[in-house]
Amino acid sequence: MTVHHPRAEPDYIPGFGNHISTEAVAGALPVGRNAPQRPAFGLYAEQLSGTAFTAPRHENRRSWLYRMRPTAEHPPYAPYAGAPRFAPGTADRPLAPNRLRWDPVAAAPPGTDLIDGMTTMLANRDPADLEGVALHVYAASADMTHRVFTDADGELLFVPQAGRLELLTELGRIVVGPGEIALVPRGVRFRARLPDGSATGYVCENHGSLFRLPDLGPIGANGLANPRDFETPVAWFEDRDEATEVIQKFMGSLWTTTLDHSPLDVVAWHGNLAPWRYDLARFNTINTVSFDHPDPSIFTLLTSPSDVPGRANADFVIFPPRWMVAEDTFRPPWFHRNVMSEAMGLITGAYDAKAHGFAPGGISLHNLMAGHGPDLASWQAASAAELKPHKIDGTMAFMLESCWPYRPTGFALDHAQLDYDTVWADFPKARLP
């Protein structure tokens, strides 16, 4: 399919991982081959690989880009001195087995763009391992104008909490707001504009195998996130011969170089490695209609498998509005200890296991084997509740669950809530007969 796109607003092509062909200028895409001797208009053909060349066909992801200048044409990168809270490395202190929770980060001072407004909170594994994830939060108040960002360390999953982001990427433009998510593949350059003047949210950075839709097993062929609800932008480019800084995250550090043009100059592309956005309201939530609280894997939207079957490098899980109907059941999340490590964020509303202290924009961390579950107030309320059908509404939380324990950054350790353990204090002792 070739999509021509003359309109000013971004346009999108539906489907997850599809093979797409899109050109912003008619005739820019070669027909029947990827690298003709002379691409149309003097464009440069460039392959962007998201998986190894030899990955099995069903996992193989790559796109061919037709651009005004090759990416290879750039001066050396030097260390970037800005964004002091972005990718500083995790704290060089023993990792305590404590549960941690954070309030939302403060609003951005004026003039803070998305990159300088990023704060890395949690990370596991080294990006060079090609495994693990990091969780960042952002608070931005200014557009990125003459600079772009690219992450060699992994794909970026944006989870806006307030304010929309317009992501102008090499492969097209995406507008994403609270209640939606967007993914920018590893290595794709982009800049972010703020249509609402400011924006806060989360970024899940995945160093491991690409996020994919989970297998559905006995659920069947449909359900959870359906492939057709993912939207990939059509080709778009800017022809701008102005100095443009490129900030790159590479092996856990930030680097900078400056081009004499915008690298968002991809006039056409084809392939199955591309950015996308997804509206969380499209998630087909499945849950019990009898009794007991199912494992939260029932809410998996995306999974990044590890080499161990069934043990995810990272699962991106959401807790959407839903009816609770279970009979003779303690309905909120149960008390548990998990071999997986759980980082959570809250986009809006309240989370049913935490009556107080977990605010939209906040984060909680329950690393492997940390005892956690409902706080005292939630436990009391749910233990006494009349079990009629009840709609949990106006809420959206997410979990980035990983088989690798998370390490907080120094900033995160220094800003954690001091009293989180007390939410599980003073549970009444069981009374035996």
Ligand X SMILES: O=C(O)Cc1cc(O)ccc1O
Nearer to ligand X, 255 or 424 (CB): 424
Binding marks (x or -) toward Fe ion, 331..350, rule CB under 5 A? -----------x--------
Query: Per CB under 5 A, does 315 bind Fe ion?
Result: no
With 0-12 CB in 10 A as exposed, 13-18 as middle and 19+ as buried, what is 417?
A: middle
The answer to whether 293 is a known catalytic residue is yes
Alpha-carbon span 406 to 342, nearest angstrom: 8
Q: What are phi and psi of 411, to 5 degrees?
A: -60, -45
A 10 A CB-CB count for 357 gives: 16
Neighbour count for residue 95 (Cβ, 10 Å): 13
Q: Which does 164 bind (CB under 5 to 8 A by kind): ligand X, Fe ion, none?
A: none
Residues 289-328 that bind ligand X (CB under 6 A): 293, 296
Beta strand 20-23 with 244-250: parallel, antiparallel or unpaired? unpaired
- Give the phi and the psi of residue 421 in degrees, each rounded to 5: -55, -30
Q: Which does 254 bind (CB under 5 to 8 A by kind): ligand X, Fe ion, none?
A: none
Which CB, 272 or 338, lies closer to ligand X?
A: 338
Which has the closest alpha carbon to 197: 127, 64, 108, 280? 108
Site for ligand X in 398-427 (CB under 6 A): 399
Query: Taking a C-beta distance cutoff of 8 angstroms, is the pair 202, 159 a contact?
Result: yes
**Residues in 224-253 at the binding interface with ligand X, rule: CB under 6 A:** none
Task: Name the one range near ligand X by CB under 6 A: 6-14, 96-104, 158-166, 332-340.
Answer: 332-340
To ligand X, the closest distance from the beta carbon of 287 in angstroms equals 10
Q: Decide: 342 and 399 in contact? Cβ < 8 Å.
A: yes
210 or 400: CB nearest ligand X: 400
With CB cut-offs between 5 and 8 Å by kind, which of Fe ion, ligand X, none does residue 296 bind? ligand X
User: Shortest gap between Cβ of 154 and ligand X (angstroms)?
Assistant: 23
Q: Count of residues binding ligand X (CB under 6 A)? A: 10
- Report DSSP state, residue 215: P
DSSP character string of 216-250: -GGG-SS-BS-GGGEEEEPP------S-EEEEEEE
Give yes or no for residue 333 binding ligand X (CB under 6 A): yes
Question: For the chain, what is the largest distance between any 2 Cα atoms, rounded to a whole number of angstroms?
Answer: 86
Give kind and range of the element (H or E) at residue 149. strand 147-151
- Nearest-angstrom CA–CA distance, 5 and 230: 19
Is 46 a residue that touches Fe ion (CB under 5 A)? no
Residue 352 interacting partner from Fe ion, ligand X, none (CB closer than 5 to 8 Å by kind): none
Please identify which of the residues 74, 261, 293, 390 carries the catalytic annotation.
293
According to CB under 6 A, which one of 133, 162, 168, 353 is a site residue for ligand X? 353
Q: Shortest Cβ contact with Fe ion: which residue? A: 342
To ligand X, the closest distance from the beta carbon of 283 in angstroms equals: 15
Decide which of Fe ion, ligand X, none touches 322; Cβ closer than 5 to 8 Å per partner kind. Answer: none
Is 372 a binding residue for ligand X by CB under 6 A? The answer is yes
Write down how long the chain is: 433
Are the C-beta atoms of residues 365 and 122 closer than 8 Å to each other? yes
Positions that interact with Fe ion (CB under 5 A): 342
Positions that interact with ligand X (CB under 6 A): 293, 296, 333, 336, 338, 342, 353, 366, 372, 399
